[in-house]
Chain A
Amino acid sequence: MDVAIVGIGLHPFGRTPSMSGLQQGAAATRAALADAGVDWSDIECGYGGSQDAGNADAIVNEMGLSGLQFTHIFNGCATGGSSLHAAYTAVKSGEYRNALVLGFDKHAPGAFNASPADWGIDDWYGEIGLMLTTQYFGMKIQRYMHDHNISEKALVAVAEKAFHNGSINPTAWRRQALSSEDIMASTMISHPLRKYMFCSPAEGAVALILCSATEAKRYTTQPIFLNAAAVRTRHYGSFEVFSPSQPIKQADSPTVIASQAAYQQAGIGPADIDIAQLQDTESGAEIIHMAENGFCEHGEQEQWLRAGHTQIGGKFPVNTDGGCLANGEPVGASGLRQVHEICVQLRQQGGARQVPGNPETGYTHVYGAPGISGVTILSR
């Protein structure tokens, strides 16, 4: 049974001091219900998560104790992708006629400080100062730039594009365009990555309503079809965060594996995709993920960015809403923001950031610690 997205809702990303993360989740849920023209009491099941803003199943306290089946999901930065995948399989199986997918979060300012014990690592690793995701991203792109001849200019181009797109997205957090000079002048965080090349932990919420494709027209005139949803974890030999060591022989990343599974499910390939949302925890991640998801060859990114191919008017727009760089990363909601944006673009509702040429297919890719990737392929 095919699955459609018939309602989308988003509470603006950034900082909302007056609302808890859960309340932001409720605002997004109400927006998605209104968009689908459906009542809360009609929703049969829900899947969702947050990292720092409490249990997602507490949403019933805000929305109403309707008795629906609700499962809280936590899968690091890939929480949104995993929640969507769970809802997708629930509807696809025919068990439920519709499902809510919900992600929200509210993080304290500054870098995450993970506990080694939560990741199966002894305390010494954190005590000596190695338990930082920023270091991992720096080392990963440093090696990638060395292996594939990517320059610092490419890192700057990704950030510049993100903040430009953020400046024309009314729900983005960072809404000021930055010049390449601004980006190069920002503080060095973890070589070669500077402050404006990193996303920051933030707040925000996204909700989606799914139903079987055959019933989609009951809810909306503009259903977006979920042609594939795949989530994969790392294989032995994939270079991932919080790794005291790694084997010499490298394996394909979980992104490559999830991507291939999604293409197989959808029966199409990267050349058939019109627009994409790719995990851009930092500039380097977007560059790596352009190739890992099959859109270009490793090393080709430099030329793509120089030619503007991934800008809104380019041949393959990436992160049209400003991505994580301009929206920040509320972990529970981030992967769902990507899906929300593809729906907006395929419905032609992007306003100032609408991709020209009437895009028909979209792709989302979320990636998180310690090596989880979630990919979806969508079409109208």
Chain B
Amino acid sequence: MSDSPIHANLFTWPAEHPSLLGGLCGHCGEVSFPAQSSCRHCSGTGSSVIELGDRGTLWSWTVQNFLPKPPYVTDQTAATFKPYGVGYVEMPAGVRVESRLLTSDPKKLHIGMPMQLVIERFSRNDQGGHNLSFAFDCLEVN
């Protein structure tokens, strides 16, 4: 049984303190997520993979309140579906990343709040383990 990232180059793994990964254009300096070989800004092709870190602030959010059709992967049904939060998290590295949010309570989500990256077991993989995906959780600041 082994857990593995749902896709390469989304986040550092295995890692004690995982970080999101992105792309840095060597030509114009624009940051992308996920990393891509050509730049959406300048059409340059010399991009390198960089760490985007594990904390950001919530730029906008919503809650997914109905069971999505495929390609969503789940063993839930419309009756057992649990709503999940979705948001854009602004990373200090200079890009807003779209992500699932662990919180789905609209009363607990507000624009500008600090967010923490978490790596979660998402779905079963074909090695008897899980696909790991990324999400963000509200960061409690005392």
What is A's interface to B at a CB cutoff of 8 Å?
A: 110-111, 113, 115-116, 122-124, 126-132, 134-135, 138-140, 142-143, 146, 187-193, 236, 243-248
Contacts and interface: CB of A to CB of B under 8 A. Distances in A.
A67 to B, nearest CB: 41
Given A142-B60, A142-B111, A248-B94, 15 more contacts: A116-B71, A123-B7, A127-B72, A127-B131, A128-B73, A129-B84, A129-B86, A131-B68, A142-B61, A142-B62, A188-B63, A191-B65, A236-B40, A245-B95, A248-B90
Given A127-B6, A127-B123, A244 B63 contact: no
Contacts, number: 117
Interface in B51-69: 59-66, 68-69
19 contacts: A111-B69, A126-B70, A127-B131, A130-B86, A131-B68, A139-B61, A139-B87, A140-B60, A142-B60, A142-B62, A143-B59, A189-B66, A191-B65, A236-B41, A246-B88, A246-B95, A246-B96, A247-B94, A247-B96
Nearest to A108: B69
A110 B69 contact: yes
B134 to A, nearest CB: 9
A110 B98 CA distance: 24
B62 A191 contact: yes
B6 A124 contact: yes
Contacts of A115: 71
A248 B95 contact: yes
Interface residues of B, number: 43
A191 B64 CA distance: 8
B32 interface: yes
Contacts of B106: 191
A131 B62 contact: no
Contacts of B70: 113, 126
A189 B65 contact: yes
B132 to A, nearest CB: 11
B6 A128 contact: yes
Contacts of B97: 244-245
Contact of A132 (B60, B61, B64, B73): B64
Contacts of B32: 245
B62 A190 contact: yes
B78 to A, nearest CB: 11
B10 A245 contact: no
Contacts of B13: none
B116 interface: no
A131 B87 CA distance: 13
Contacts of A140: 60
A131 B88 contact: no
B128 to A, nearest CB: 18
B3 interface: no
8 tightest A-B contacts by CB? A138-B62, A126-B71, A245-B33, A113-B69, A143-B60, A124-B7, A139-B60, A127-B73
B133 A135 contact: no
A248 B70 CA distance: 30
A143 B64 CA distance: 16
A87 to B, nearest CB: 31
A315 to B, nearest CB: 32
B94 A128 contact: no
